[in-house]
Amino acid sequence: MRTRLLRALRLGIILASATACITVLLRSQGYGGRAAFTATQTYTVYSGAVVAKSFVRVMAERSDGSSAEQLQIPGEDGRSFFDATTKRVFRVDPRFKWASVRVAGNAEASRYLALKTDCMNAYGGRVVVATCVPVSEKVLGYDVVAVTRSIKADPSLEFHYLVAPALNYFALREARYKNGSLAETVETLSLVSGDPAPTLFEVPNGYMIGSRGDYYLAHMKSMGREPSQRTVDFYRRSDEESGVLSLAPPGAASGQ
């Protein structure tokens, strides 16, 4: 009995040591935790072989799982961010000086907070077909994996990515095809490691803030248009289900 206990104890120590070594190795490679960074990209939309629109997009991630997206489109600037602490999604409209807020559902929050363990975990799934192939190319100094992805329900769409494992499989390059023709491209121009600017995760002072229903009604009123009752009912129902009406009322200075 004593011999068996000693063997079991030794085995437990060996397994624990192996687990610790693997964890240290993964973290040293940058794959065992979430990297914080800010990426500046060019997003180009094509119509046939002609560029229809090109704009700058800023993508940022915090180590806690919070993420932000800022679009710099003349006359259409906008920003959205997910706050991991409160699990809320904010959409900031600088033209209208408004921000809408909603609570992310459990499945949505899990997607935001997911730590992607491998390429297929990040890009595969039941409704898509994906392949992941490591390549010798580096993008902005990062090792990348080439991903080809299509949607089973719509084979006319195909997506090609170069993703960085060290950045939680963030896509540094993207190309999207429709019926074999190039439709969109994304190219990362620069990437800065470390915590993103706090302003990407804040609602500016003086902005109105409320539910999506509040924002929709105010926006339609500002344009002198009659709101759709169907849309109003949808927002009210989803806001009530998520508990968003318990948040700060419109007029609050910050969504934090």
The yes-or-no verdict on residue 21 having pLDDT over 80 is no
In this predicted model, what pLDDT tens digit does every residue of 52-91 receive, in sequence order? 999 999 999 999 999 999 998 877 779 999 999 999 999 9
The rounded distance, in Å, linking the Cα atoms of 223 and 215 is 12
- Mean pLDDT over 211-229 rounds to 87
What's the pLDDT band for 196 if we cut at 50, 70, 90? very high
> How many CA within 13 A on the CB side of residue 133?
8
The yes-or-no verdict on residue 123 having pLDDT over 50 is yes
The rounded distance, in Å, linking the Cα atoms of 79 and 94 is 8
CB-CB contact of 123 with 233 (8 Å) = no
Place of tokens 């993508």: 59
Task: Give me the pLDDT at residue 134, please.
Answer: 93
3-state secondary structure of 136: strand
Q: What are the beta bridge partners of residue 187?
A: 42, 173
What's the pLDDT band for 210 if we cut at 50, 70, 90? confident
The rounded distance, in Å, linking the Cα atoms of 150 and 102 is 30
Q: What are the beta bridge partners of residue 210?
A: 100
- Mean pLDDT over 13-35 rounds to 39
Tokens linked to 96: 């209208």
